[in-house]
Amino acid sequence: MTDDSEVSTDAALDTVFYHEERVQFVHWQEFTGARTAVGLTALTAVFSFITGLSILSQDVLVLEGALAALLPDVTEFVRFAGVLFAFVLALLTFGLNRGKRLAWYLSVVVVPVVGILPLLTLETTHMPVLFLVMLSFPALILNRAQFDQPIELSPLQIASLSSIVGVLLYGTIGSFVLREQFLELETWSDAFYYVLVTIATVGYGDITPLTTEAKWFSLSIIILGTGAFTVAIGSLLIPAIENRMASAVGNMTPASINLLEDHVLVLGYSDITASLLEELGDEREVVVVTSDQDEASELDDSELNVLTADPTDERNLHEARIEDARAVVVTTKTDAEDVLAILAARKANPDVYIVAAAHEQHNVDKLEEVGADEVISPMTIGGRLLGRSVLEEVPPESLIHSGSNADDE
């Protein structure tokens, strides 16, 4: 009975650390994954900016593409469209990097539109943008499932953004209705332009109020608009700064790891976790889930992906991308917590490979019964290695690989 237990323990060690894998000459996931989609979108933004600068530098812009005949009167828009789309794509790339679903939806609309620019100008130097669009758009479609993070806004953020929209509507409609009382304000676009420059406190002076009523209306736009924008900026920037400061002490947000694929998920932090992380090294991406703030801070200093959360909560495991994990290692501080973590992991991903470390030898069977594929007892393994080291007079490290062979003989 003891020999079978020893063989099983050695097999578990070999499976976790030294298992053989089929060698692939081409890792297609590295070329077609979510990171590739984000990178291609970023490159599209860069080349769109370069193309936009090229168009702006031309004294006379002539649209020679076949689409130019179908889209009349777009010459002036095309002149600055490249730079404009570049900044839009830069913002969308930031959202894609955080796995935001809204950023994905906007990207699949904006990226093809950017590809229209070289088809309008039909200049050879603008063709790289079209090439990048043809690469980034399919990459975004193939990785749609990877961008599933919702935009989470607080009630204050929703209220502040709604107030901005309300002020813009109020100012635009009111300005157009009072257009007879303004100088050089005739169309809806003039009204919208006037509201924006008024809220921004730029005041170019090209559109000015002529009557007392128009002046009081303009004053109301200034007060309401600047107030709404100030509140909105504060409500959006302060949480981002707080998250950034929190990550400095080891509290990484789920969005910072949502693009991980084929990673190892380590649940909990105990005495053997440091050795585990050292053994995994740089061979595999690792995400550690622990609820201990001090431990999370120490791990974050070592540039590991750390999620400060309860490892026994199924929702936290989904945030740590357990559905895309290669394996789960359960190394909490007690066997009771190990059981809860294994149950949560198995429910979150029924097919994931789970290895657990039992603190007590008599709990090995219990951890297997609740869903662990392999269970090892570090204390038992340590004792065996010490015994063999004494009998064979060799360092314990040299016995790790030879343990299974010795048992078979």
Which of these three, 248, 282, 308, is where a domain ends? 248
Residue 181 domain-assigned (yes or no): yes
- pLDDT of 311 > 80? The answer is yes
The total number of structural domains in the chain stands at: 3
pTM listed for this prediction:
0.52
Residue 74 domain-assigned (yes or no): yes
120 shares its domain with 11 = no
Cα atoms in the Cβ-side hemisphere of radius 13 Å centred on 277: 22
- CATH assignment of the domain containing 278: 3.40.50.720
100 shares its domain with 172 = no
- Tell me what percent of the chain is helix, strand and coil, each rounded to the nearest 5: 65, 10, 25
> Letter for the amino acid at 387?
G
171 shares its domain with 126 = no
- CATH assignment of the domain containing 208: 1.10.287.70
3-state secondary structure of 346: helix
For 373-395, the DSSP string reads: SEEE-HHHHHHHHHHHHHHHTS-
260 shares its domain with 400 = yes
Burial of residue 173 (number of CB atoms within 10 Å: 0-12, 13-18, 19+): middle
From residue 107, how far is each of 32, 103, 141, 164, 252 by CA, in Å?
17, 6, 10, 24, 26
Within 8 A by CB and 6+ apart from 175, the residues are: 182, 185, 190, 191, 194, 195, 217
For 128-174, the DSSP string reads: HHHHHHHHHHHHHHHTGGG--B-----HHHHHHHHHHHHHHHHHHHH
The predicted pLDDT at position 342 comes to 92
- pLDDT of 351 > 50? The answer is yes
Which of these three, 227, 248, 269, is where a domain ends? 248
Which of these three, 217, 248, 279, is where a domain ends? 248
Instruction: List the structure tokens of 322.
Output: 């357990």
CA 89, CA 46: separation in Å to the nearest integer?
9
pLDDT tens track for 126-142: 888 889 999 999 999 98
Q: Which of 101-115, 149-163, 309-323, 387-401 has the highest mean pLDDT?
A: 101-115
pLDDT tens track for 286-308: 888 888 766 666 665 556 778 88
Residue 38 domain-assigned (yes or no): yes
171 shares its domain with 284 = no
Within 8 A by CB and 6+ apart from 391, the residues are: none
DSSP 233: H
- φ, ψ for residue 374 (rounded to 5)? -140, 140
Q: How big is the chain by its Cα radius of gyration, in Å?
A: 30
94 shares its domain with 229 = no
> Letter for the amino acid at 357?
A
Structural domain including 136 reads 34-146
pLDDT tens track for 138-148: 999 988 888 88
184 shares its domain with 304 = no
The predicted pLDDT at position 169 comes to 92
225 shares its domain with 260 = no
138 shares its domain with 229 = no
Residue 169 domain-assigned (yes or no): yes
pLDDT tens track for 197-240: 888 877 777 888 889 898 999 899 888 888 888 888 877 777 66
263 shares its domain with 354 = yes
- pLDDT of 248 > 60? The answer is no
335 shares its domain with 388 = yes
111 shares its domain with 198 = no
